[in-house]
């Protein structure tokens, strides 16, 4: 049996989520914008899902805007905010952390407003000093993710949000990886916008949300309809939204048990990794997601390790970023000032709710074999 340890990339659809979606993928017909009973049934299903998603992140239902996923939510936030700012303050600037997901970093390169990068420390965390250094009177929006998809480092957002509010700045957080893994409270956190993605929490791909505070100045960037509070035009994908709602409902109910189970796997893996002298765990000092460990193995390339593990039927992710057809060390590890060779050897393990201790053992045994064989061949090569 193959072992899947790449749950930060995507999770398997929960069987209960699939069952909730099926009626909306079959014969239940109707456009949610239609006023007849068929339409109303679809609309009701969307509103129920909105309540469940809101409950998961401590928001009000009316603050949840459904989108096609985390990528669209990040684009809507950046471009929708910039369109508004341009009308009022064309010299406004946006500050984003250096470790954001590409779905935020890449659109940021195409904005009509100037963008500043916020540095992180060696554990991949943004602190208040770094935020103060990257921002100024012209900064109108700050974006710092809730938890990083590679290292799992959880950002301490409270002092950053407090500072942003004192400066009259709006604050966005990409919580695509955090939601369903750690507790979140949109209203209490004081952030003005939050990105979510369903397929990171056992929901379907192609659906997510941007949660927004009513004071956030934002306008739509896609035209052709007034769906989703006139912020996201297009007939809703009801089945996917229903699936997101069900996944959020399950995540709320199981947050603690999942957290406990995942943390046990992560800690066991980390304890096992400590026995390999060639291994360095990244962001080790940071508070991290319960399911994520990213580490480098000196003398290896992450891609080679990934392929060797795949040959042993274990699926992980390498830390290298494939940008413009070139592979290289991940921008996250580079921002943490990890040495290039070590960053290039990075492997990310992200557990999911069906993983067990035997998966941890399988990975540790496979790594031991790979590292030992490599050491033996180095000794043989040296003796030739």
- Write out the catalytic residue numbers: 322
Which of 52, 139, 176, 318: binder of ligand PLP (CB under 6 A)?
176
CB closer to ligand PLP, 155 vs 197? 197
Whether the CB-CB separation of 194 and 178 falls below 8 Å is answered with: no
Closest CA to 131 of 87, 170, 161, 90: 161
Q: Which residues of 323-357 are buried (b: 16+ CB within 10 A; e: fewer)?
A: eeeeeebbbbbbbbebeeebbbbbbbbbbbbebee
Which of 52, 139, 149, 155: binder of ligand PLP (CB under 6 A)?
149
Please report whether residue 177 would count as binding ligand PLP according to CB under 6 A: yes
Is 10 strand, coil or helix? coil
d(CA 62, CA 54): 8
Please report whether residue 69 would count as binding ligand PLP according to CB under 6 A: yes
Whether the CB-CB separation of 286 and 90 falls below 8 Å is answered with: no
Which of 45, 53, 70, 142: binder of ligand PLP (CB under 6 A)?
70
Rounded to the nearest whole angstrom, what is the least distance from the CB of residue 195 to ligand PLP in the complex? 6
Backbone dihedral angles phi then psi of residue 183, each to the nearest 5 degrees = -70, 140
Closest CA to 173 of 151, 136, 141, 214: 141
Please report whether residue 150 would count as binding ligand PLP according to CB under 6 A: no
Whether the CB-CB separation of 60 and 54 falls below 8 Å is answered with: yes
Backbone dihedral angles phi then psi of residue 300, each to the nearest 5 degrees = -115, 160
CB closer to ligand PLP, 54 vs 198? 198
Stretch touching ligand PLP by CB under 6 A, among 69-77, 218-226, 257-265, 353-361: 69-77
Rounded to the nearest whole angstrom, what is the least distance from the CB of residue 97 to ligand PLP in the complex? 11
* Per-residue binding letters, 230-269, with ligand PLP (x by CB under 6 A): ----------------------------------------
Residues 71-100 that bind ligand PLP (CB under 6 A): 71
* Per-residue binding letters, 184-203, with ligand PLP (x by CB under 6 A): -------------x-x----
What is the secondary structure of 318-347 as a DSSP string? ES-EEETTEEES-HHHHHTT--HHHHHTEE
Rounded to the nearest whole angstrom, what is the least distance from the CB of residue 302 to ligand PLP in the complex? 17
Residue that is written with structure tokens 């997601």 in the block: 289
CB closer to ligand PLP, 197 vs 227? 197
CB closer to ligand PLP, 244 vs 300? 244
Rounded to the nearest whole angstrom, what is the least distance from the CB of residue 184 to ligand PLP in the complex? 13
Give the residues lining the site for ligand PLP (CB under 6 A): 69-71, 101, 103, 145, 149, 174, 176-177, 197, 199, 208
């Amino acid at each position: 049996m193959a072992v899947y340890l790449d749950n930060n990339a995507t999770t398997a659809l929960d069987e209960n989520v699939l069952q909730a979606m099926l009626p909306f993928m079959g014969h239940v017909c109707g456009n949610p914008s239609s006023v007849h009973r068929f339409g109303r049934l679809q609309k009701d299903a969307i509103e129920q899902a909105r309540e469940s998603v809101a409950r998961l992140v401590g928001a009000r239902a009316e603050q949840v805007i459904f989108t096609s996923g985390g990528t669209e939510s990040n684009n809507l936030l950046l471009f929708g905010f910039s369109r508004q700012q341009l009308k009022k303050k064309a010299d406004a600037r946006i500050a984003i952390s250096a470790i954001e997901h590409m779905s935020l970093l890449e659109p940021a390169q195409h904005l009509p407003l100037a963008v500043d990068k916020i540095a992180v420390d060696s554990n991949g965390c943004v602190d208040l000093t770094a935020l103060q250094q990257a921002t100024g009177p012209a900064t109108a929006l700050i974006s710092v993710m809730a938890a990083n998809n590679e290292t799992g480092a959880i950002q301490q957002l409270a002092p950053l949000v407090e500072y942003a509010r004192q400066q009259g700045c709006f604050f966005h957080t990409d919580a695509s990886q955090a939601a369903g893994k750690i507790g979140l409270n949109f209203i209490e956190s004081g952030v003005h916008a939050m990105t979510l993605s369903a397929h990171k929490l056992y929901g379907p791909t192609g659906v997510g949300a941007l949660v927004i505070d009513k004071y956030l100045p934002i306008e739509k960037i896609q035209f052709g309809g007034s769906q989703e509070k006139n912020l996201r035009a297009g007939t809703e994908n009801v089945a996917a939204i229903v699936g997101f709602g069900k996944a959020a409902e399950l995540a709320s109910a199981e947050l603690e048990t999942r957290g406990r189970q995942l943390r046990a796997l992560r800690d066991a893996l980390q304890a096992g990794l400590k026995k390999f002298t060639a291994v360095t765990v990244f962001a080790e000092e940071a508070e991290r997601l319960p399911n994520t460990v990213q580490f480098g193995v000196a003398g290896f390339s992450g891609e080679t390790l990934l392929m060797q593990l795949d040959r042993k039927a274990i699926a992980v992710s390498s830390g290298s970023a494939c940008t413009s057809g070139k592979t290289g060390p991940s921008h996250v590890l580079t921002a943490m000032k990890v040495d290039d060779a070590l960053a290039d050897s990075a492997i990310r393990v992200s557990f999911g709710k069906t993983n067990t201790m035997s998966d941890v053992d399988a990975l540790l045994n496979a790594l031991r074999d790979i590292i030992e064989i490599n050491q033996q061949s180095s000794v043989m090569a040296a003796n030739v």
